[in-house]
């Protein structure tokens, strides 16, 4: 079922692109495929980036809440949940996007594995409609025409480090390093920036001396550590796999970085409107809060208002 519903559709999208592009270069097809996937996921990615941007903007308010509650965790949690609800932030909003990206990655890896072990799979594993395309017919008669390189420079079926060969395949190694570096900058771009951030070592040191550690500070410090953890994991994971997967990861990270730049920097107007949109029912807001937040209401009555009040008092007398 996973092969039928996930692997085959993903693989056939890649094959469809490969069969139609001029030159029929598999590396170019993989690059176009990655861009297409990122465009398809753009609505979900944009929502995820909006959540990240809102969390960055809320850091001063979160800090103020922690200061005002003075260690009262129950009250702090209640106020934070109210703040998230008011601003439309869902802490679990990123999970659907991450799951979809993981599904695409696993599906692509399974499809590429078939082609690496048997080049004929690019024809036999394709849908019948694709097998009737002119280039696919040529491949079915002569599989040696299949070009599984990136413009002739990188053999995408080879890994940077493999058990069967001695030494390092440097073209693939450069792709692995590039994908890890891209992931680092992609993660760093989403991290909330603050001049008062403390390292995890500093927090644990204070906790060891008897001071109570702030859980939000711990979470933020752990999050900052993932900037280094994820690139290292990507390097270790892809260094022994076919470089086609490293190419997908590198191009995907590069496109993601550009998309994040658009949302987090250039698209300020749209995000400001969403962030400042009132979510409370005005009728439900206490009168004191309305008076306090309204700049149009003057605290002192005007001179004309004073005269009107004085005239009314005289008439009553």
pLDDT digits (tens, 9 = 90+) for 151-188: 989 999 989 988 766 688 999 999 999 999 998 888 78
Mean pLDDT of all residues in the chain?
A: 76
Among 89-98, 159-168, 239-248, which stretch is predicted with the lowest mean pLDDT?
89-98
Calculate mean pLDDT across residues 268-283: 48
Residue 98's pLDDT is 77
pLDDT beyond 50 at 13: yes
Q: Report percent pLDDT > 70 for the chain.
A: 69
Calculate mean pLDDT across residues 269-281: 49
- Residue 15 CA to residue 24 CA, distance in Å, equals 10
pLDDT beyond 50 at 285: no
Among 26-35, 60-69, 292-301, which stretch is predicted with the lowest mean pLDDT?
292-301
**pLDDT by residue (tens digit) across 25-51?**
999 999 999 999 988 888 877 777 777
Calculate mean pLDDT across residues 129-145: 93
Residue 91's pLDDT is 64
Calculate mean pLDDT across residues 70-80: 79
The pLDDT confidence band at residue 124, using thresholds 50, 70 and 90, is: very high
- Residue 187 CA to residue 226 CA, distance in Å, equals 8
Residue 41's pLDDT is 85
290 CB-contact burial (10 Å; exposed 0-12 / middle 13-18 / buried 19+) = exposed
- Residue 186 CA to residue 196 CA, distance in Å, equals 22
Rg (CA), the chain: 29
Taking the model in full, what pTM does it have? 0.70
The pLDDT confidence band at residue 207, using thresholds 50, 70 and 90, is: low
Residue 20's pLDDT is 94
Calculate mean pLDDT across residues 7-16: 94
Highest mean pLDDT range out of 127-131, 258-262, 284-288, 296-300? 127-131
Residue 143's pLDDT is 92
Calculate mean pLDDT across residues 59-85: 80
Residue 269's pLDDT is 53
22-29, Cβ contacts within 8 angstroms, sequence gap of 24 or more? 24/135, 24/145, 24/147, 25/147, 25/149, 25/150, 25/151, 26/146, 26/147, 26/148, 26/149, 26/150, 26/156, 26/244, 27/148, 27/149, 27/150, 27/151, 27/154, 27/156, 27/244, 27/247, 28/150, 28/151
Q: What's the length of the chain?
A: 317
Residue 221's pLDDT is 55
């Amino acid at each position: 079922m996973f092969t039928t519903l996930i692997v085959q559709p993903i693989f056939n999208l890649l094959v469809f692109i490969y069969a139609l592009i001029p030159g029929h270069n598999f590396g170019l097809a993989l690059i176009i495929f990655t861009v297409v996937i990122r465009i398809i996921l753009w609505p979900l990615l944009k929502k995820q980036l909006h959540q990240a941007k809102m969390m960055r903007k809320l850091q001063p308010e979160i800090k103020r809440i922690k200061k005002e509650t003075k260690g009262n965790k129950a009250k702090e949690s209640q106020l934070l949940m109210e703040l998230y609800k008011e601003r439309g932030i869902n802490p679990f909003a990123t999970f659907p996007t991450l799951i979809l990206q993981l599904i695409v990655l696993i599906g692509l890896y399974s499809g590429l594995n078939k082609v690496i072990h048997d080049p004929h799979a690019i024809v036999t594993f394709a849908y019948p409609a694709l097998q009737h395309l002119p280039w696919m017919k040529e491949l079915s008669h002569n599989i040696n025409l299949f070009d599984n390189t990136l413009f002739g420079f990188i053999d995408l079926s080879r890994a940077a480090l493999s058990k069967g060969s001695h030494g390092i395949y440097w073209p693939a190694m450069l792709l692995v390093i590039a994908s890890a570096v891209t992931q680092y900058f992609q993660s760093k771009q989403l991290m909330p920036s603050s001049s008062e951030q403390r390292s995890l070592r500093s927090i644990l040191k204070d906790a060891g001396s008897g001071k109570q550690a702030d859980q939000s500070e711990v979470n933020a410090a752990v999050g900052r550590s993932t900037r280094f953890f994820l690139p290292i994991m990507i390097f270790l994971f892809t260094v022994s796999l076919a470089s086609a997967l490293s190419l997908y990861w590198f191009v995907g990270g590069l496109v993601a970085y550009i998309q994040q730049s658009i949302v987090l920097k250039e698209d300020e107007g749209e995000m400001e409107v969403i962030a400042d949109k009132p979510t409370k029912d005005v009728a439900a807001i206490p009168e004191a809060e309305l008076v306090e937040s309204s700049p149009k209401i003057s605290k002192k009555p005007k001179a004309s208002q004073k005269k009107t009040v004085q005239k009314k008092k005289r008439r009553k007398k």
